[in-house]
Structure formats: structure tokens, C-alpha cells
Amino acid sequence: MINQEQAVVELRQVSKRFGNYEAIKDLNLSIRRGEFFSIVGPSGCGKTTTLKMIAGFDHATEGAVYLSGTSANHIPPYKRNVNTVFQNYALFPHMTVYDNVAYPLKLRKVPKNEIRSRVIESLKMVSMDQFLDRSPNQLSGGQKQRVALARALISKPEVLLLDEPLSALDFHLRQEMQRVLKHLQREVDITFVYITHDQGEALSLSDRIAVMKNGVLHQVGSPEEIYEMPQTSFVAGFIGKSNLIKGRMEGPTRFVSDAGLQAMTNEASNLSGEPHVYISVRPEKLRISKDDERYVNRLSAVFVEETYYGADRELTFREAGGTHILMKQQKDDGNVKFSEGESVDLFFRPEDAVIVKEWRS
């Protein structure tokens, strides 16, 4: 259960430099007890560095990491109530599944009987209690990751850090392990801080998501907030697909694009001083027919191509400013076919035109 009050992990004004290179810039994050929190962003944006500072394997150049309200800057990794699961499992190859999972408890000199019951309980949670005597090289990738999870959870940490734990798995196994992780997190009620560069994975697993680029935090919010109300052009383009049209605001809800498109938008009172903004319109929000009177915005474009994805198809158009516009059409929307170069009017509602800041970082 998520406790809204207490931050179990907090980063306050954290910067991290490697020589002259600033890998993390003034990062503020507050992770709530019991939540599934993901950090997502492209390669090199600082995800692993952030995780290492929470684990204590690396230190902030400026600012501080707090664990349950206490500054952790001088607490070594083994004294933090935090465990990490890595992408490459990091199981001991010469030990059985049982001994791998028992290892953290043996180190703490827990009585043998208790070790046995806790190892079996832990392996049951990940459906691996049938494999006690196997060695890691007799397991599949997904099974190894389950054992690594059981080992990380056996000492009941307050926070489990997961660094791209599923990235070595194929598509189907990855989906299965996503379900395992989500159920497991609810069952054990431990805060998960999950790193991924896969935005779809972050959307489907998380209670909240932090989106980073080049060491800068762009937005934190629930999956719905991040997808429906992206705050920067980067977030709009990185999380899901989006049509970004550049222009300026000429009033609180009136947008004019560089190519002259006029559109009514949602409210964006805090962006009135920006020299340029974008509107972000998701591909599934565009319509070809104007039957519904709420679709007051018209975007004239020419048809470029169609891509078939089974359950739906994606139509690509080009608007007057040269920007490619994607439209996602469900199978039941009617199979209107266009020919290349044909002029088409696309329609969207004001609430589907989300104003976002241009943010270069």
C-alpha cells in the first residue's frame, strides 16, 4: 500500500560530476513508501548513476540522498536497507539455487531452520521452489532472474532497486516477468525503484514515473499524467508516440503554428512568456471525419503512407510545415484508403492538443 506521507527515498538537489562532466543536474526526487517507481530515459541520461547513489555505490558531488528521512551520505551500501537486482542476475555460478538465495541470511548468521523456511517462502513467491538443487547454468534467463529476485527480497529490504532487470530476456519472457514483478511488488509491499529505457514497460508497471534526459529530470507523475499531460516536448516524444507541432500561443488557449495552423488548445497559463511552444497531439486522438462537433481543430495534410500492425494501422501524413503527422486508426474506424499525395483534413479536440514547452537539454 502506498503511503503518501513518508518518502522512503529522497534526493535533494543532487548533482553528480565525473571530472568536468555533469551526469546529474540538480535532481530532486521523492519516492513514497510502497510504490512502484520507475526512472525512464534514453541511454546515458543518468538512470544507473541515480540508482548507484541510492544504493551507496556512488556519491553525490552536491546535495544529499535521504533514506526514510535520514541523510545517507555517510552510510555505506551494506548498512543501507536497500538491495539491488542487476540485469545480469549476478548469481554465484558454483552455488545451487538454494544456497544462492540463502546466502544473505547465512552472512547474517540467521539460524538454519529459519533460513530453510525463508528460502522456500522466497522461492515460492517467484514459483521457483521446485528448483532448489539446480545450479544457475541449468536455468533459463527468466528463471535466473526469478532466483535473483528471491535472493534480493529474502532479507526484506525497505527498497529494492532494479537496474533494467528484464533487458536480457526475449519479448514473451519479458512480458511474463513484468507480470511476475508487478504482482510480487504488491505482495511483498516493498518500494521498487525500477530503471528502464523501455517507456511501455514503465507505463504498464509503475505507480509513478520519472522521465530524465541528459541528467535533467523532465517530469514526475502517474503513467496517465505523463502520457496525457506531458510537460516538455521531450516527454511527449519519448513516452508513446506524439505529433509535435511547433508554434506560439496567441492567447491563453489559441495556438498558431509556424506554418499557420490555428488551433484551440487546453489551458496553459504558465507558458504565456515562452517564445515557442509545441502542441502535442497523440496519434489516436486524430479523426478523419468531422461528424463529432467537438473536433473543432482542422489540420490539412497530404497522405504519405500506411503501416499495418494487425490490431490497428498507422497512417502517415505531412502537414504544411513539413512535419510528419501520425494517425492511429483502429480496425473498426472504417478502412478508408488514401492515395499518395492526396489532401486530407484531420480533426482533433481542444483537450487533445496539449501545450508543451520546448526544452533543450
Ligand X SMILES: Nc1ncnc2c1ncn2[C@@H]1O[C@H](COP(=O)(O)OP(=O)(O)OP(=O)(O)O)[C@@H](O)[C@H]1O
Taking CB under 6 A as the rule, does residue 361 contact ligand X?
no
The reply on whether position 34 binds ligand X by CB under 6 A is no
Give 100 or 232: the residue with its C-beta nearer to ligand X. 232
Size of the site for ligand X (CB under 6 A): 12
Q: In this structure, are residues 246 and 259 in contact, taking their beta carbons and an 8 Å threshold?
A: no
Site membership for ligand X, residue 47 (CB under 6 A): yes
Query: Minimum distance between the CB of residue 210 and ligand X, rounded to whole angstroms?
Result: 12
Q: For residues 24 and 301, which CB has a smaller minimum distance to ligand X in the complex?
A: 24
Select the residue interacting with ligand X from 3, 6, 13, 18 (CB under 6 A).
18
Q: How far is the CB of 257 from ligand X (least distance, A)?
A: 33
Output the CA–CA distances (angstroms, integers) from residue 283 to 29, 169, 229, 326, 330, in the order listed.
31, 29, 14, 5, 11
Q: Quick one: angle between helices 112-125 and 97-107, nearest 10?
A: 130
Looking at the Cβ atoms of 47 and 282, the one nearer to ligand X is 47
CB of 281 to ligand X, least distance (A): 28
Element (H, E) at 34: none
Closer Cβ to ligand X, 41 or 247, answer by number: 41
Q: By CB under 6 A, name the one of 3, 6, 13, 44 that touches ligand X.
A: 44
Does position 46 interact with ligand X (CB under 6 A)? The reply is yes
Grid coordinates representing 83 are 538491495
117: which residues sit within 8 A by CB, 6+ positions away? none
CB of 68 to ligand X, least distance (A): 24
Cα separations (Å) of 41 from 125, 134, 140, 202, 270? 30, 37, 28, 10, 25
Scan residues 196-215 and list those touching ligand X (CB under 6 A): 197
Instruction: With contacts defined by CB under 6 A, name the span among 47-55, 265-273, 333-341, 353-361 that binds ligand X.
Output: 47-55
The answer to whether 268 and 251 are in contact (CB under 8 A) is no
Instruction: For residue 48, give the nearest of 194, 201, 159 by alpha carbon.
Output: 194
Cβ count within 10 A of residue 235:
27
Kindly tell me which residue out of 43, 117, 137, 335 binds ligand X, with binding defined by CB under 6 A.
43
Stretch binding ligand X (CB under 6 A), from 38-46, 90-98, 176-184, 301-309: 38-46
Closer to ligand X by Cβ: residue 43 or 335: 43
Of 344, 266, 338, the C-alpha closest to 299 is 344
Minimum CB distance to ligand X smaller for 47 or for 357:
47
Q: Which of 40, 45, 148, 249 binds ligand X (CB under 6 A)?
A: 45
DSSP state of 159: E
Whole-number Cα distances in Å, 12 to 33, 43, 64, 307: 17, 23, 5, 45
Contact, 357 vs 231, CB < 8 A? yes
Instruction: Tell whether residue 321 is a contact of ligand X (CB under 6 A).
Output: no
Q: Which residues bind ligand X (CB under 6 A)?
A: 18, 21, 23, 41, 43-49, 197
